Amino acid sequence: MRPLLEEVHLLEAYAEGTLPEEQQLDVAVRLLWDRDLQQKLAGQQLAYRALRLFGRRQLRAELEAIHVRLFG
Amino acid sequence: MEAALLTDRAQTLERIYAKTYPMVRHYVREHGGSDDDAKDLVQEALITYYEKVVFEQLTLTASVTTYLMGICKNLWRQELAKRARQTALTDTHADLAEDPTPDAEPPTASLMAFVEQLGETCKSILVSFYYFGQRLEQIATEHGYRSVRSATVQKFKCLERLRRAVSHLTIEQFKS
């Protein structure tokens, strides 16, 4: 994967807390001074939130369609 | 049941819905509610259940209908209490029922618009993985990728695009 995508991958694992302890600590330390990385992490977390909101709306629509099909 | 929910969502949800809705409707009718109230409750309960399965790895030991019935009864009690409070407030002419909390977070609608703008493939891959909890193997097959690895790369590409789009939103907010 390209370095940029590797970084997306890394931040995802960091946010999930699934990195090996040493690497987890390493990212935490980098985040202390690296503003660019801080913004990327913040953006990524916002992206996850957007996906959750979007997914929930899609699930609601799927349930509504089921309702109409079965009981509408 | 939980595994089937993720791999075959459409049919599994329909099966659960067909069983649960009539029970909830019966309960709600007997407790002062309408069929529409019952529908709202069942859908809310199913969303709660789905999200618990995906995000908290919930595995039920009791039957799913029992679990959903429990959620619905709770929700309905809360709803009745809320309606009683609202009636009481209207009676005393106090019309400040909702307190207007300022919302510093990016609005829900604009966040969802960024997902919408991604294009079909990215949208579908990301939502399938991050919300619907599908495995990458299944996503690879359904989207015609030759390997799980190429589906994984595509997933991160799409995520990076979304991240860039929403970051723009946060920067814009700081400017104003």
> In chain B, what are the domain boundaries?
2-91, 108-175
C-alpha count within 13 angstroms, C-beta hemisphere, residue A5: 13
Q: Average pLDDT over chain B, rounded to whole?
A: 90
- What are the angstrom distances between the C-alpha of B163 and each of A7, A36, A57, B157? 12, 13, 20, 10
B23 contact A CB<8A: no
pLDDT tens column, B25-36: 999 999 999 999
pLDDT tens column, B44-70: 999 999 999 999 999 998 899 999 999
Q: Identify the band that residue B90 occupies on the pLDDT scale cut at 50, 70 and 90.
A: confident
Taking CA–CA distances from A54, the nearest residue in chain B reads B112
Measured distance CA(B54)–CA(A51) in Å, rounded: 13
Residues of A in contact with B13 (CB under 8 A): 62-63, 66
pLDDT at B103 over 60: no
Range B34-65 burial, b when 16+ CB lie within 10 A, else e: eeebbbbbbbbbbeebbbbbbeeeeeeeeebe
Region class of B32: left (phi > 0), else alpha (psi between -120 and 50), else beta = left
Per DSSP (E only), the strands in chain B are none
A50 contact B CB<8A: yes
Mean per-residue pLDDT, A17-26: 96
Residue-level pLDDT at B87: 86
Contacts 24+ apart (CB under 8 A), A19-25: none
Residue-level pLDDT at B3: 87
Which is higher by pLDDT, B87 or B171?
B87
pLDDT tens column, B91-102: 776 555 555 555
With H, G, I as helix, E, B as strand and everything else as coil, classify residue B143. coil
pLDDT at A22 over 80: yes
Which is higher by pLDDT, B176 or B9?
B9
Report the gap between the CA of A44 and the closest CA in chain B (Å). Answer: 5
Taking CA–CA distances from A45, the nearest residue in chain B reads B163
Identify the CATH assignment for B108-175 out of 1.10.3470, 1.10.238, 1.10.1740, 1.10.10. 1.10.10
Q: Identify the band that residue B106 occupies on the pLDDT scale cut at 50, 70 and 90.
A: confident
Nearest Cα to Cα of residue A67 among B168, B22, B123, B65: B22
Mean per-residue pLDDT, A21-33: 96
Mean per-residue pLDDT, A42-58: 96
Residue-level pLDDT at B150: 96
pLDDT tens column, B118-176: 999 999 999 999 999 999 999 999 999 999 999 999 999 999 999 999 987 766 655 54
Q: Identify the band that residue A51 occupies on the pLDDT scale cut at 50, 70 and 90.
A: very high
Q: Identify the band that residue B107 occupies on the pLDDT scale cut at 50, 70 and 90.
A: confident
Calculate the CA dihedral of residues A29, A32, A33, A37 and round it to 10 degrees.
90
Residue-level pLDDT at B175: 57
Contacts of residue B43, defined as CB under 8 A and 6 or more positions apart, other chains included, come to A60, A63, A64, A67
Residue-level pLDDT at B17: 98
Contacts of residue B27, defined as CB under 8 A and 6 or more positions apart, other chains included, come to B38, B69, B72, B73, B76
Tokens 């990385």: give the residue.
A37
3-class SS letters over chain A? CCHHHHHHHHHHHHHHCCCCHHHHHHHHHHHHHCHHHHHHHHHHHHHHHHHHHHHHHHHHHHHHHHHHHHHC
pLDDT at A11 over 80: yes
* ipTM, interface predicted TM-score of the complex: 0.94
Calculate the CA dihedral of residues B53, B151, B8, B52 and round it to 10 degrees.
10
Residues of A in contact with B21 (CB under 8 A): 67, 70-71
Residue-level pLDDT at B2: 86
Residues of B in contact with A12 (CB under 8 A): 159
Tokens 């099966």: give the residue.
B15
